[in-house]
């Protein structure tokens, strides 16, 4: 385990890393096959880098219920 903090990624970075379109990303979030975004502030959200990495390691088998959000 590393001592690095879990960074929060904004949508542009998530789309660049995953290669998904914005609509596909949100469709996968709705289907719980992509990590849920977390609120950064009232009008700002992002994704935990560790959650995106978990999805990237095996996108076909990822399901949100298998990965805690905290």
Predicted TM-score (pTM) above 0.85: no
| 1, pLDDT greater than 70 | no
- Residue 32, phi then psi, degrees to nearest 5: 65, 30
pLDDT in tens, 32-70: 999 999 999 999 999 999 999 999 999 888 887 766 555
Q: Do 67 and 59 meet the contact criterion of CB atoms below 8 Å apart?
A: no
pLDDT at 51: 94
Q: Burial-class residue 22 by CB neighbours within 10 Å (0-12, 13-18, 19+).
A: exposed
Average pLDDT of span 17-43: 95
Residue with more model confidence, 17 or 4:
17
How confident is the model at residue 49, as a pLDDT?
96
- Three-state SS at 60: coil
């Amino acid at each position: 385990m590393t001592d690095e903090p879990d960074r929060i990624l904004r949508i542009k970075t998530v789309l660049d890393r995953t290669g998904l379109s914005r609509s596909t990303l949100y469709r996968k979030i709705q289907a719980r096959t992509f990590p849920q975004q977390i609120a950064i502030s009232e009008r700002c959200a992002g994704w935990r880098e560790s959650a995106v990495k978990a999805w990237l390691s095996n996108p076909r088998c990822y399901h949100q219920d298998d990965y805690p959000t905290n």
